[in-house]
Amino acid sequence: MIHTRGLTRDFKVKKETVTAVRGIDLDVEAGQLVAFLGPNGAGKSTTLRMLTTLLPPTSGTATVAGHDVAADPRAVRSRIGYVGQRNGAGEDQLVRDELVSQGRCYGLRPKEAGARADELLDLLELTPLAKRAPGTLSGGQRRRLDIALGLIHRPDLLFLDEPSTGLDPKSRADVWRHILRLRETYGTTLFLTTHYLEEADTMAERVVIIDNGLIIADGTAERLKNDLAGDHITVTTGTEREAAAAAGIGGGSAEGTTVRLRVAQAPAALPDYLRALDAAGIKVTTAETTRPTLDDVFLTLTGRSLEVDLLPLVNEGDSHGRP
Ligand SMILES: Nc1ncnc2c1ncn2[C@@H]1O[C@H](COP(=O)(O)OP(=O)(O)OP(=O)(O)O)[C@@H](O)[C@H]1O
């Protein structure tokens, strides 16, 4: 559904060239749900803009929904939907009319556009709100309307730019429920960016991490966490000397009286480790196991935390100060 080879985009800033995306090779098969993650300025929006034909690549190729983005952008646009960060609906029309107008823009006949609008209102549980003005909807309801607008022409592939940013936890969960439902109903391929690592972890079947214009990790969240971060055992000991000795036994590191070690399966490895510490006469005061997060994966790969970098820039525009 998405195939890129050496996809690159440069920007000229005064006399300098900023390479926002540096030769990305990416293959997304039909029906996949891919979360595209990266810190601010990593190249997510630039990639998305190239894949959705809003920005021509400087070099490389991208085939999206069977068409080349540079040679046949119109054909790409007819096969994809795009739900941006800003609201897609205007204020002049009621919810259902907004959907019908959007359908007409895509060339649907009036009857067809009406039927499709009703189908989407039903799927996204917006039917009771059909006669409301978009401005009167809650944040979560509005986001669902945006998703409906992106689906009006039955796209094979839907791009969603931070679909849950700015919503309260309940509305976020609700938007996700609908995203998963539309995938189940239509088999739509979904490619989305999110600032919430936990969402990417639990909802997406594939996580692609971009940093500094390059893809640095690509796989299921489970595989990335196992391969690149691993489980951890953390124990605290009575004294710093004991901690240093405990770190030596487990091959970990000690900081003060805290010892941390990376293991393959922490819950299974912990009893053996505790027995070894006991045999060495080391008194353990606390012990816990932790599963890695996607942030740990990013930390392992780059030495930086993604979570700190990924603070949503709500109401502040994006990294280029765009409103
Ligand atoms: N129009 C532009 N002119 C100059 N530089 C740009 C332009 N658009 C993007 N860049 C630069 O390209 C790099 C990647 O930006 P991009 O917006 O793709 O990152 P991002 O991962 O989407 O970040 P964010 O999470 O903050 O939206 C950044 O260094 C950015 O400053």
Burial of 271 (0-12, 13-18, 19+ CB in 10 A): exposed
Counting atoms of ligand 1 from 1, which one is nearest the CA of 49? 18
Q: Virtual CA dihedral for 125, 129, 134, 137, nearest 10 degrees? A: -80
Q: Residue 319: which pLDDT band, with cuts at 50, 70 and 90?
A: very low
Tell me which residue has its CA closest to atom 25 in ligand 1. Answer: 40
42 Cα: distance to centroid of ligand 1 (angstroms):
7
Tell me which residue has its CA closest to atom 3 in ligand 1. Answer: 11
pLDDT confidence of residue 323: 35
Given a cut of 60, whether residue 309 has pLDDT beyond it is no
Report residue 138 CA to chain centroid gap.
23
**Distance (Å, rounded) from C-alpha 176 to C-alpha 71?**
34
Q: Tell me the domain boundaries of the chain.
A: 2-225, 231-291
pLDDT confidence of residue 175: 82
Tell me which residue has its CA closest to atom 2 in ligand 1. Answer: 11
**Distance (Å, rounded) from C-alpha 232 to C-alpha 234?**
6
Summarize pLDDT for 6-31 with one digit per residue, the tens.
999 999 988 899 999 999 999 999 99
Counting atoms of ligand 1 from 1, which one is nearest the CA of 195? 25
Residue type, 68: D
**What separation in angstroms does the CA of 223 have from each of 35, 36, 241, 256?**
14, 16, 36, 32
21 Cα: distance to centroid of ligand 1 (angstroms):
9
pLDDT confidence of residue 316: 40
Check: CB of residue 298 under 8 Å from CB of residue 268: no
**Distance (Å, rounded) from C-alpha 38 to C-alpha 309?**
8
Q: For the domain with range 2-225, which CATH number is right: 3.40.50.1970, 1.10.1200.10, 3.40.50.300, 3.30.420.10?
A: 3.40.50.300
41 Cα: distance to centroid of ligand 1 (angstroms):
5
- Weakest mean pLDDT among 99-108, 265-274, 303-312: 303-312
Burial of 117 (0-12, 13-18, 19+ CB in 10 A): buried
151 Cα: distance to centroid of ligand 1 (angstroms):
27
Check: CB of residue 35 under 8 Å from CB of residue 194: yes
Tell me which residue has its CA closest to atom 1 in ligand 1. Answer: 11
Given a cut of 70, whether residue 318 has pLDDT beyond it is no
Tell me which residue has its CA closest to atom 5 in ligand 1. Answer: 11
**Distance (Å, rounded) from C-alpha 240 to C-alpha 106?**
68
Counting atoms of ligand 1 from 1, which one is nearest the CA of 12? 4
Alpha helix ranges (H) inside the chain: 44-51, 73-79, 95-105, 110-123, 139-151, 169-186, 197-203, 221-228, 240-250, 266-279, 294-302, 306-309
314 Cα: distance to centroid of ligand 1 (angstroms):
16
Mean pLDDT of 128-151: 88
Asked if the ipTM is above 0.95, the reply is: yes
- Weakest mean pLDDT among 162-176, 241-255, 266-280: 162-176
Report residue 21 CA to chain centroid gap.
17
Find the farthest-apart pair of alpha carbons in the chain and give their distance in angstroms, rounded: 81
**Distance (Å, rounded) from C-alpha 43 to C-alpha 30?**
23
Burial of 158 (0-12, 13-18, 19+ CB in 10 A): buried
Summarize pLDDT for 278-296 with one digit per residue, the tens.
999 999 999 999 988 888 8
Given a cut of 90, whether residue 275 has pLDDT beyond it is yes
Q: What is the residue whose two structure tokens read 């027995």?
A: 275
- Per the prediction, the chain carries an average pLDDT of 87
Q: Which of 13, 21, 46 to mutate to test the pocket of ligand 1 (most atoms within 8 A of CB)?
A: 46
Neighbours of 293 (CB within 10 A): 17
Tell me which residue has its CA closest to atom 10 in ligand 1. Answer: 20
11 Cα: distance to centroid of ligand 1 (angstroms):
9
Ligand 1-lining residues (CB < 6 angstroms): 11, 13, 18, 20, 38, 40-46, 318-320
Reported residue count of the chain is 323
Q: Residue 87: which pLDDT band, with cuts at 50, 70 and 90?
A: low
Summarize pLDDT for 155-175 with one digit per residue, the tens.
899 998 888 887 788 888 888
Q: Work out the angle between the directed axes of helices 139-151 and 169-186 (0-180°, nearest 10).
A: 20
pLDDT confidence of residue 118: 93
The partner residues of 189 in beta bridges, in order of sequence, read 157
Class of domain 231-291: alpha beta
Given a cut of 60, whether residue 99 has pLDDT beyond it is yes
Given a cut of 50, whether residue 314 has pLDDT beyond it is no
Mean pLDDT of 52-78: 94
Alpha helix ranges (H) inside 60-138: 73-79, 95-105, 110-123
The partner residues of 157 in beta bridges, in order of sequence, read 80, 189
